[in-house]
Amino acid sequence: MPKQSSAVTNDVAFGFLPTDKKGRIFGFTDLILVQVVVGLSAFGLLTGAYTGSMLGSSQSFAATLFGNAFPMFLIAPIILFFARYGIDTFVGFRSSLGYKGANVFFFVFLILTLGYIAIALFMAGEALVELAVWLNMPSFFASPGTGTPFFSISLFAVTFLITVRGPAAIRKFNLFAVPAFILFLVGLIAIIVFGQHIPALNSLLPVEPFETNSRSLAIALEINIGLGFSWLPYLGQYSRLAKNEKHAFKAGFYSYGVIVSLAAIVAALSTLIAGSLSPASWMMPIAGPYAGLIGLLLLTVANVGAAIFLMYSQTVSFKTLYPKKTWLFSMGTTIPTVFLLLSATFYNAFGSFIAVISFIMASLGGIIISDYFFVKKQKISLRHLYDTEGNYTYWKGINPSALVAIAVSILVYWGLYNPLTFNSSNLFLYMSAGIPTYFAALISYYVSAKYIFKYEVDQVSNTVDAPAQETATTLISKGEI
């Protein structure tokens, strides 16, 4: 236990502190590799599956590429902020959201992470049900209604037990999980390319299109845009370790915006071939019984690996924010995931879940880009990011301009598209909802910060560095901290 506790303590300190020169170890290739490994995920597979269920092969390909790359193109500039100051995402967001606002965003992120964990584990549970069918196990295990919740909750317990042991146990598991996902994807690509599927792809029809192609395209784009924007909270994670800003920026765009969309493209093509939205049900029709069996095992291990990564990230982030809480208490914040695994309801609502993520991350992306580049003009005080009674307190710890921007974003997004009912305005068919929401948030935040809630820190941007040059002693003597 002490070994685990010390490793966790190191991870908490590592996440909390701004990276010093010694810690900036990642070049362009290192960043691409680590971010691609982290980014290839169950969500990419499901997003691709939804796309392939609505569109033909060439439109699926284009919608997936554009839908992932364009949101990343819009938010990737914020990587320069994290790379310059060496700070993690939730510390960085304090300058635009306020100290308490950043904490509120953390709790939103925490709830979304529960959803991410549930989706990865439910997909793994589905794969084990397919295995149970193949092994002629009793109907309790082989029936999706009972087997999937049983297996996915059991896998949650396994995930929890591995994660609670700390980074050493996780690294051991990931020695299998990371190659498993890569093998799974490479295997699928090989079967699609070298099998007899490629000539047929152009003639295959999507299984669940909407009434018109333009509506299918708009909704498929929106789901992919959600995946593209969903990387926002992760952008600081590795870019803060970059040797320089330009490598961090380029690697962020290429890895999260372009390369990881490969998983979604493969999934879209697999859905067209197998005629099913569920990755677990692709294996047998595409790969045959024995290769399919291996595929199901790889899919299970890979998803458990993804769930471990998410669970650990969430727990460490929680401890970084509340260092006095115990490791077990912090781990306990992931337990509500079990409620999402009791039935397929949440998993089947993935299209709505990713669209809600699109709304949240598009609005936040607009706010932080507006704040860093246009309002504060890249002048941030590192000291005041950490002094939680400092310049970024705004109104009781929350920046009212961020609230204004979120209110405008709600009107724009939900006016264009309702992800729960799939009702949309005609404009949605031409411009999607996530991208206009990003620009609405960006502009409304700027107008509010400059002309409505005129805080000094937002007005006199050239002097923000002045207090930053003062030492803690000076600030303490002035009563500022």
Q: What residues line the site for other proteins (CB under 8 A)?
A: 9, 13, 16-18, 20, 58-59, 61-63, 65-66, 69-70, 73, 76, 80, 84-85, 217, 244-246, 249-250, 253-254, 258, 323-324, 382-383, 386-389, 468-472, 476, 479, 481
Question: Among residues 200 and 476, whose Cβ is nearest to other proteins?
Answer: 476
CB closer to other proteins out of 152 and 239: 239
Please say which residue, 66 or 395, places its beta carbon nearer to other proteins.
Answer: 66
Q: What's the closest the beta carbon of residue 264 comes to other proteins, in angstroms?
A: 14
Distance CA 462, CA 376 (A): 8
Shortest Å distance, C-beta 12 to other proteins: 8
CA angle (383, 386, 390) in 5-degree steps: 75
Question: Cα–Cα distance between 370 and 366 in angstroms, integer?
Answer: 6
Q: Given the complex with other proteins, which of 69 and 360 has the nearer CB atom? A: 69
Residue 224 or 313 with smaller CB distance to other proteins: 224
Supply the minimum distance, in Å, between the C-beta of residue 105 and other proteins. Answer: 20
- From the CB of 475, what's the least distance to other proteins, in Å? 9
Which residue's CB is nearer to other proteins, number 268 or number 341?
Answer: 268
What sign does the dihedral 12-14-15-17 (CA atoms) show? positive
CB of 87 closer than 8 Å to CB of 18 = yes
> Of the candidates 19, 432, 15, which has an alpha carbon nearest to the alpha carbon of residue 244?
19
Q: SS in 3 state form for 181-247?
A: HHHHHHHHHHHHHHCCCHHHHCCCCCCCCCCCHHHHHHHHHHHHHHHHHCCHHHHHHHHCCECCHHH
What are 96's two structure tokens? 């635009």
Angle of CA points 363, 366, 372, to nearest 5°:
135
Shortest distance (Å) from residue 388 CB to other proteins: 6
Give me the sign of the Cα torsion angle 79, 85, 89, 92: negative
Q: What is the 3-state secondary structure (H, E, C) of 77-96?
A: HHHHHHHHHCCCHHHHCHHH
Nearest one of 461, 453, 468 to 395, comparing CA atoms: 453
* CB closer to other proteins, 23 vs 195: 23
Neighbouring-strand partners of residue 283: none
Provide, rounded to whole angstroms, the least separation between the CB of residue 434 and other proteins.
15
Complex with other proteins: residue 386 or 395, whichever CB lies closer: 386
Closest contact distance (angstroms) between CB of 110 and other proteins is 22
Closest CA to 380 of 458, 296, 309: 458
Rounded to the nearest whole angstrom, what is the least distance from the CB of residue 24 to other proteins in the complex?
A: 10
320/14 Cα distance (integer angstroms): 9
- Could you tell me the smallest distance in angstroms from the CB atom of residue 282 to other proteins? 24
- CB closer to other proteins, 421 vs 473: 473
- Inter-axis angle of helices 261-274 and 213-229, to 10 degrees? 140
Residues 383 and 474: their CA atoms lie apart, in Å, by 12
